[in-house]
Amino acid sequence: MMELYLTNSWIIALIVNSILIIFAFLVPKKLLTRNGYINAWILGVIIWGTLSWQGYAVVMFYFLVGSAVTKIGMAEKESAGIAEKRSGMRGPENVWGSALIATFCALGTLLVDAPWTQLLLLGYLASFSTKLSDTTASEVGKAYGKRTFLITNLKSVSPGTEGAISLEGTLAGIIASAIIALIGYLVGLVNIMGIFYCIIAAFIATNLESLIGATLQEQLEWMTNEIVNIINTLIGATVAILLAWLGLKFLGF
């Protein structure tokens, strides 16, 4: 029965994602490059095939909201030279920079049993919660941050500076992480405590990402934004899993 379910799930994954990518290629307003859409199709098939519509709902919510957030104040950000390249259109490097860790968590659920399955589901959700928090904090901070500070010394810096944080961006990031975590709870990926684990993990990971941006990223040529995103989401997933594991071990939830 399980083998039949998995087979049906992968068939549905191929059908749904093929329909969506055809639609995406036909509409005039593009959110991804052509190669970006192809890689998003691969990602979508994997996620639906492993986590069914519940996991797919989370990645689609991240994709749509993350793309919308990138467009906030685009004209002002472009004139200031701090907007995302290609006017916010994402390529394959952005797809996997954001979703590689989540993909590993999703595939991992096929290989383990409880409680590791539940922990990997939490890691999956936390990685997207972290990435949406980071994207929202960055884009809102660049567009609406009244004062931005370097995370290492809290000195005032220009919006868009690597490692810069703002009150407006930080609050927006927390809200974004909470909303996508709530989506994960509503579709049944995690329990109620999973929401709080994701919020805490996203906050920690997003600030560590800013710290990395302010220190190591400028010094290491290989540390691109995509590599930093992978590190960021890995931290978020790991922190959430550790919090849940400690909760199970010592607190009973």
What the block records as the tokens of 187 is 């579709």
For 150, phi then psi, to 5°, come to -75, 130
Looking at residue 31, its pLDDT comes to: 81
Write out pLDDT tens, residues 120-162: 999 999 999 999 999 999 999 888 878 888 888 888 888 778 8
Q: Which residues of the chain have pLDDT under 50?
A: 1-2
Determine the Cα–Cα distance for residues 194 and 191; give it in Å rounded to an integer.
Answer: 5
| Residue 239 DSSP symbol | H
Structure token digits, residue 137: 């904090």
Q: What is the pLDDT of residue 1?
A: 46
The predicted structure's pLDDT at residue 114: 83
C-beta of residue 163 within 8 angstroms of C-beta of residue 225: no
Instruction: Enter the DSSP assignment of 250.
Output: I
Q: How much is the pLDDT for 82?
A: 55
